[in-house]
Amino acid sequence: MWLSSRLCRATCSPNGDACYLQHRYASILASRILYCDGDLRRDAEQPNMSDEFLAVHGLIRRQPQAIPGVPASVASLVDHAAATYGSRPALADRRVSYTYEQLRGAVDRAAAALHIAGVRPLDRVASCLPNTSDVVITFLATMRLGAIWVGINTHLAVPEKCFLLADSGASLLVATEQTITSVRPWTAVPAIAVEITDPGSWWRDTDPASRPQGDVDPLAPAAISYTSGTTGSPKGVVHSQHNMLLPGAALLRRDPAALIQGVCLPLTILNMQVLSTVQTMLNGGVIVPMDRIDAVGVAEWIQEFGVQRMYSTPPTVYDLLTRPDIDPASLASLTHLGVGGAKCPEGLRERYREHFGSDFGFGYGLTEAPTSVTGGAADGSAGPLGSSGVEHEQVSVTIRDADGAEVPAGDDGEICVGPTPIGYFANCYSTMLGYWDRPEATQAALRGGVLHTGDVGRFDAEGNLWVLDRRSDLIIRGGANVYPAEVERAVEGLSCVAEIVVVGREHPRLGEEVVGFVLPAAGAAGADLSRAVLAATCEEQLARYKWPVEWYVVEQYPRNAMGKVVKPTLRKWLETGELPEGLQAPVLLPVTGVTA
């Protein structure tokens, strides 16, 4: 049975205690107006992007060249895709599917529902939904209105969700009833409840004609994507609709095939909307939101929907290749695999080649870019093991010293990203507009007109980028720099190792010392793991000052939504012995092996 959605508004209890959400849903059929204990609409439309709005929120105006061959905005992409691909399948999950024409109708109805709920241009619409068709439709509807989309991962703790709602100044929350209920005591943001088992119920009965018409400014702020917070409180990275289109336009030139694209990583991550929703709509493929991220569940989705392209993280790919309960035949349709979000163990690519007879793509990217800016080799191959490939066509990636000057190939420095001045996409690339409400951080990251990533790397003579480490993860041992990634790269090729993480620990004389954490390989190979094997490998490949003084075995690492290991959690455990609930304490690796 189709259920009506409910518009929820927070009100305060009479005694001034914590706020709570009261539910009320009503429709005035004649005017198609939703209200909730009063009209949430404002009398006047919020104006388009202005210098004042940018200045208030610590952002920088960008004026890139138009992207050739694609619509100017994600909002207009909805019309373009419907006109170009029509009755071809566009979006499908296990409950519902849409053609491109039907998707446009769904997006327009959802945009009308958001508008009736009070959303205006540049308002922040927070979406906290699992991977379903509705999270895609909510994103596109927000783009249609020229509002600003804020993705909130469903797995975040309640205080973390409330921080993002407050920090972004969200005007509306689109989420499940469970999420809305969980944040009631702490937030007054109005909300639309989405019933996952009844796709589209919150927008289905809305008149699409009530959606505001008119062009959307493609250079205005359009999304806030919060960094994982591995180095402190999350920062909101702001991108325009123009920024979201460019990565897909570049891929369209490299690989125009219309593929079935499965999305196992959360679509509340902006990079996944860019790499999956926007990219797939540009080439007329099918978006398949997958509600499982574990390897067994992912394999089931791949087999059921014939998924051809997918982006995933190294741990998931490792499990797909090694778990005995996954039939390799279930992955036969997967011809285009991109791996990122975390460092890629060298042995993983070898395993993949043995398994599938082909290679997967691996590159370097970050939320601030957005998505990847390097990948593959100049000849189209996967590139050397351990490298992140060559720069993409639409960007210029440089290595710079502390003064901002470019350094030659072979020298280490900070990885910086800016527009390429030549070629098909000359001056089309735009950096992020900045960090939301953090002007100092914005100025520091975008000084000199390029994005300063904070990552350390170098280019080789063939133009391949080698990422050495995050500057914040650098270990300074007795005055000598130790890049954790360099130590990790030396060890991760061992067959007994699934994944290796290296961090620094405070030392009274040296300042810091090197400590390693290792996840053993599955099956018999992992049984060969020993301190002696690790030590011998380090002795063979690394200077003595880089050797870890201790090794710990872990059952699992603390990870963020993109699969990256949260190193500060490991450093804190070394200092205090504290770990998040659900994580087993690492075990010191003795000389003779894992279980001795």
pLDDT of residue 351: 82
Q: Is the pLDDT score of 590 beyond 50?
A: yes
Q: Is the pLDDT score of 27 beyond 50?
A: no
Q: Cα–Cα distance between 405 and 40 in angstroms, integer?
A: 51
CA–CA distance from 386 to each of 460, 507, 519 (Å)? 12, 30, 19
**pLDDT tens digits for range 105-115:** 999 999 999 99
Main-chain dihedrals φ then ψ at residue 363, nearest 5 degrees = -145, -170
Q: Cα–Cα distance between 192 and 554 in angstroms, integer?
A: 41
Burial class (CB in 10 A: 0-12, 13-18, 19+), 580: exposed
Q: Cα–Cα distance between 238 and 236 in angstroms, integer?
A: 6
What's the token pair of residue 530?
A: 């020993």
Q: Which of 203, 334, 208 is nearest to 264 (CA)?
A: 334
Q: Cα–Cα distance between 437 and 58 in angstroms, integer?
A: 5
Q: Which of 306, 312, 316 is nearest to 286 (CA)?
A: 306
Contact 521, 495 (CB under 8 A): yes
Q: Cα–Cα distance between 589 and 587 in angstroms, integer?
A: 6
**pLDDT tens digits for range 182-227:** 999 999 899 999 999 999 999 999 999 999 998 999 999 999 999 8
Residues paired with 374 in a beta bridge: 364, 391
Residue count (the chain): 596
E strands along 460-525, which residues? 465-470, 475-477, 480-482, 497-507, 511-520
What's the token pair of residue 389?
A: 């490939």
pLDDT of residue 314: 80
The yes or no reply on domain 474-588 and CATH 3.30.300.30 is yes
In this prediction the pTM is 0.79
Helix (H, G, I), strand (E, B) or coil at 181: helix
Contact 551, 537 (CB under 8 A): no
Q: Cα–Cα distance between 414 and 422 in angstroms, integer?
A: 23
Q: Cα–Cα distance between 538 and 550 in angstroms, integer?
A: 12
Q: Which of 6, 196, 238, 245 is nearest to 94 (CA)?
A: 196
Residues paired with 34 in a beta bridge: 27
pLDDT of residue 544: 84
**pLDDT tens digits for range 449-493:** 999 998 889 999 999 999 887 767 878 787 667 878 878 988 988
pLDDT of residue 363: 87
pLDDT of residue 474: 79
**pLDDT tens digits for range 327-338:** 999 999 999 998
**pLDDT tens digits for range 113-167:** 999 999 999 999 999 999 999 999 999 999 999 999 999 999 888 888 999 999 9
CATH of the structural domain 51-278, one choice from 3.40.50.12780, 2.60.40.10, 3.40.50.300, 3.40.630.10:
3.40.50.12780
H-helix or E-strand spanning residue 23: strand 19-23
Indicate the pairing of strand 172-176 with strand 148-151: unpaired
H-helix or E-strand spanning residue 271: helix 270-272
* pLDDT level of residue 341 (50, 70, 90 thresholds): low
Planar angle of CA 267, 455, 67, nearest 5 degrees: 55
What top-level class would CATH report for the domain 292-362? alpha beta
Residue that wins the pLDDT comparison between 368 and 28: 368
Q: What is the mean pLDDT of the chain?
A: 86
**pLDDT tens digits for range 511-567:** 789 999 999 998 867 788 999 999 999 988 887 888 999 999 999 999 877 678 889
Q: Is the pLDDT score of 507 beyond 50?
A: yes
In the chain, ranges of CATH 3.40.50.980 domains: 292-362
Q: Cα–Cα distance between 588 and 531 in angstroms, integer?
A: 10
What's the token pair of residue 343?
A: 């460092």
Indicate the pairing of strand 336-339 with strand 361-365: parallel
**pLDDT tens digits for range 255-305:** 899 999 999 999 999 999 999 999 999 999 999 999 998 899 999 999 999
Residue 404 contacts by C-beta under 8 Å, 6 or more apart in sequence?
Answer: 447, 448
Main-chain dihedrals φ then ψ at residue 498, nearest 5 degrees = -85, -40
Planar angle of CA 147, 234, 391, nearest 5 degrees: 80
CA–CA distance from 303 to each of 103, 264, 331 (Å)? 24, 13, 6
In the chain, ranges of CATH 3.40.50.12780 domains: 51-278
Helix (H, G, I), strand (E, B) or coil at 272: helix
pLDDT of residue 357: 80
CA–CA distance from 179 to each of 127, 155, 194, 318, 411 (Å)? 11, 10, 10, 32, 49
* pLDDT level of residue 230 (50, 70, 90 thresholds): very low
DSSP result, 184-252: TTT----EEEE-TTSTTTTTTTS-GGGSPPS---TTSEEEEEE---TTSS--EEEEEHHHHHHHHHHHH
Indicate the pairing of strand 550-553 with strand 587-588: antiparallel
Radius of gyration of the chain (CA): 24
Taking each continuous run of H as one helix and of E as one strand, the counts in the chain are 16, 29
* pLDDT level of residue 591 (50, 70, 90 thresholds): low
Q: Cα–Cα distance between 202 and 190 in angstroms, integer?
A: 14
